[in-house]
Amino acid sequence: MSKSIRIGIKDPDESAQEVIEAWHRAERGEAPEEPIHRVYFQDLETLLRALSVRRLEILKSLHKAGPLSIRALAKMLERDYKNVHQDVTLLQKLGLIERSGKGAVTVPWESIVAEIRLAA
């Protein structure tokens, strides 16, 4: 089974509606849907800023290499440690990277599925 996370664009009202619908399903006694891991951004500009080419490179490289220290990751990518650390911190806040108890970082996902609606 592939472990994936969905990213997309939703305004706060749409996100709140999703929670309300799940609440109503639970009140009706319906079985919960299988959990879907997701991250929503308010607009495309924010999504593209958060998932820049460099940050996607971090995700791909880290997924391929397995758990690494940030220093080892920066060395592998031939990038400045401080910049890689900042990128990893943001990606961790978004839930795209996890940190182990020993300080190594890893990507827990097999894929990132992006959904961008063309019309509201």
Each domain of the chain, given as residue ranges in start order, spans 4-115
Q: Mean pLDDT, to the nearest integer, of 99-116?
A: 90
Model confidence pLDDT, tens digit, residues 30-47: 877 776 788 889 888 999
Q: Is 32 exposed, middle or buried (0-12, 13-18, 19+ CB in 10 A)?
A: exposed
Q: Is 99 exposed, middle or buried (0-12, 13-18, 19+ CB in 10 A)?
A: middle
Report the 10 Å Cβ neighbour count for 69: 13
**Among 3.40.50.720, 3.40.50.2300, 1.10.10.10, 3.40.50.1820, what is the CATH number of 4-115?**
1.10.10.10
- Quick one: pLDDT at residue 1? 38
Residues in the chain: 120
Model confidence pLDDT, tens digit, residues 53-91: 999 999 999 999 999 999 999 999 999 999 999 999 999
* Predicted structure pTM score: 0.79
Residue 2 pLDDT more than 70? Answer: no
Beta partners for residue 114, in sequence order: 7
